[in-house]
Amino acid sequence: MKDEIAQKRIQELTSILNEANYNYYVLDESKITDQEYDKYLRELEELEEKYPNFVLEDSPTKRVGGEVISSFEKVEHAIPMLSLKDVFNESEILEFDNSILKMGIHPTYFCELKIDGLSVSLHYEKGILTKAATRGNGVTGEDITHNVKTIKSVPLKLKDPIDIEVRGEIYMSKETLKEINLEREKNHLPLLQNPRNAAAGSVRQLDSKVAAQRNLDTFIYHLPNPEDYGFRYHHEAIDFMKSLGFKTNPNNRLVSNIQQVFEYIQEKTQIRQTLPYEIDGIVIKVDSIKQQQELGFTARTPKWAIAYKFPATEVLTKLKDIVFTVGRTGQITPNAVLEPVIVMGSTISRATLHNEDYVKEKGLMIYDTVSIRKAGDVIPEVVEVKKERRTGKEIPFTMIKECPICKTPLVKKKDQVDYFCLNEKCPARKVEGFIHFISRPAMNIDGFGARMMEDFYNFGVIKSIADIYDLKKHREDLTRLEGYGEKSVDNLLEAIEKSKENSLERLLFGLGINHVGSKTAKILSSHFQTLDALMNANFDELVSIQDIGDIIAVSLLDYFSKEENQILIQKLKQHGLNMVYLKGKILQDENFNGKSFVLTGTLTQMGRDEAKKIIESRGGKTVESVSRKTSCVIVGENPGSKYEKAKKLNIPIWNEKDFLAKIKKV
């Protein structure tokens, strides 16, 4: 391609993709399909690789992450990043209003949601994002540009080529936080306790890949020097920032008096739970910049704005007991049994206490009064013990020495905090393993919950993972169980059948092989394509894959070498479970898309059905007989007459090795 043409196309693609990003991430409306987006992005990536000189500063390929820094540079804030004075009730809000009225000022207020995240300052020069910094202590923050560039709602280039600094909040949606925690729970990682920590932890990473995966978002709510742009009102500054391409909050509202502020608070308190992100209060700002200047600042906060904080989400309750649960891997977890309390609309009667050290650090005793916190969808936690409330009747906590279910002595490995039940036949571990199999990140069987699995296990119809697919034989018995109507049983059976079509990585993750989390399962599935190929891989082959180390390789080899596991996989195969990687390949693989294939002879690495599925998952089709229309013939061992015919018609021929090489490439 000629240089000028390539440059032009790069410009065009950059602008199409940035426009699409803006529509999707800022305006929340998509105008092109995901497939179209991916197609353009791939085209741009290829062109940028060939013509690196033409890469634009606002190229969307810069959002994928990968930039690694060695330390965080300090950033001085030319205008300090202040925080707001918190108020907690109606009378404190009235006090704020009165203090302003007393100055002879009669303001209109601008009401905003107080987003629970961390504040960020964004600097643009000639419209290009040059620096992003945390608040730090308000005077000096840290440079987090590499991470902020991965946030899709942050424009890399503004609609106007101006110099500007804007401020706002980086946050993580409730949904993302929940997904990350589900994943972390499965992988035995400590959970992210709230969206603020989650967002802060994500931008305080040296490697921007982490932030890129965390799906962060922003709302911009502050222009530090509005007068320099000729604005007389804060709401004008907000509109201006919106017009530059920033994401501003649609709930913002200009009101004419304090009564309307109360109405706003009431309204937003009601919709709080339905918002896709956490808010912890309402921010009330004087709208007029002139009035803001008259009111001025205290040492740390402006006198023209306050943050009304929602009532504390911490409540007191009694710790009735500490009970122990056994996880799928045999890990023992102490759990707080609490006197049920309502926190933010949901009843809490349990909270995880993680491990022995955690309980000891908190100094918990049974019958203690404890404070409990739950923010929105976040996992409830015991915050602290109210020692002053002790009566002397409290009982010290002691760690158990044997498995509460199978009584096997527990083992604590050197330098680890967790105790384990190492009995692989432990009923608790087995049930947890089944629950893991059906869970959302694994086989995702709709309507099949943990409680149900426990019921079915106790009822004796599920003794192994494979039995899940035999549940249909027990339909009548199940409908007679208390709480299981015909409709719910039928829906469940249907969801179980549907799960057979899942792509391989779900099944692989569901098997619960040590150290194989959902990400590893995906890497392995996309590399090997079929479970058989993975089972046939040796140590060297496994560790040659990026991100697969010794520990995972040994664990896989160990798992697949056990007869009981081989039998399980065999049974699942007989039940008709898909054992092929099907994800996201359609339209992406030119080797297959739109082409027709004929298979002949015996393939050694996979069955014919699997080969068919692989071809179909990449947009190809398989036909029975060779004709001039056949695009390619795949030849296994001892091929028949189809091979001869293909040669005669001059149709491209792949042997099994060629086929494997083609499918591994993508």
Which residues of this chain interact with ligand IVH, rule CB under 6 A? 82-84, 112, 114-115, 119, 135, 169, 221-222, 283, 302, 305, 307
Q: Please, are residues 180 and 82 in contact by the beta-carbon 8 Å criterion?
A: no
* Integer Cα distance of 61 and 13 in angstroms: 11
Of residues 413, 389, 411, the one with CA closest to residue 401:
411
Distances (CA, A) of 126 to 142, 162, 165, 277: 22, 4, 11, 32
Round to the nearest angstrom and report the end-to-end CA distance of the chain: 25
CB nearer to ligand IVH: pick between 112 and 589: 112
CB nearer to ligand IVH: pick between 263 and 467: 263
- The tokens for 485 are 């109507």
Sheet of 216-222, strands arranged across: 128-134, 118-125, 164-172, 216-222
- The tokens for 133 are 């910094």
* Integer Cα distance of 221 and 238 in angstroms: 7
CB nearer to ligand IVH: pick between 83 and 570: 83
Quote the distance between the C-alpha of residue 98 and its chain's center.
45
CB nearer to ligand IVH: pick between 76 and 446: 76
Full 3-state SS string of 221-237:
EECCCHHHHCCCEHHHH
H or E stretch at 381:
strand 381-385
* Integer Cα distance of 86 and 515 in angstroms: 45
CB nearer to ligand IVH: pick between 221 and 308: 221
Shortest-Cβ-distance residue relative to ligand IVH: 119
At closest approach, how far in Å is the CB of 221 from ligand IVH? 4
At closest approach, how far in Å is the CB of 64 from ligand IVH? 27
Backbone angles phi, psi at 396, to 5 degrees: -60, 155
At closest approach, how far in Å is the CB of 566 from ligand IVH? 55
At closest approach, how far in Å is the CB of 137 from ligand IVH? 12
At closest approach, how far in Å is the CB of 57 from ligand IVH? 28
Query: Which DSSP state fits 467?
Result: G
3-class DSSP state for residue 287? coil
CB nearer to ligand IVH: pick between 84 and 203: 84
Backbone angles phi, psi at 427, to 5 degrees: -55, -35
* Integer Cα distance of 30 and 23 in angstroms: 6
| Cα angle 620, 626, 632; round to 5 | 45
Residues whose CB falls within 8 Å of the CB of residue 215, separated by 6 or more in sequence, listed in order: 172, 173, 176
At closest approach, how far in Å is the CB of 383 from ligand IVH? 21
At closest approach, how far in Å is the CB of 83 from ligand IVH? 4
CB nearer to ligand IVH: pick between 158 and 286: 286
* Integer Cα distance of 652 and 646 in angstroms: 8
CB nearer to ligand IVH: pick between 137 and 561: 137
CB nearer to ligand IVH: pick between 83 and 544: 83
For the annotated catalytic residues, the residue numbers are: 114
At closest approach, how far in Å is the CB of 279 from ligand IVH? 8
In DSSP terms, 173 is beta-bridged to none
Of residues 399, 403, 401, the one with CA closest to residue 331:
403
At closest approach, how far in Å is the CB of 286 from ligand IVH? 11
Residues whose CB falls within 8 Å of the CB of residue 88, separated by 6 or more in sequence, listed in order: 308, 309, 311
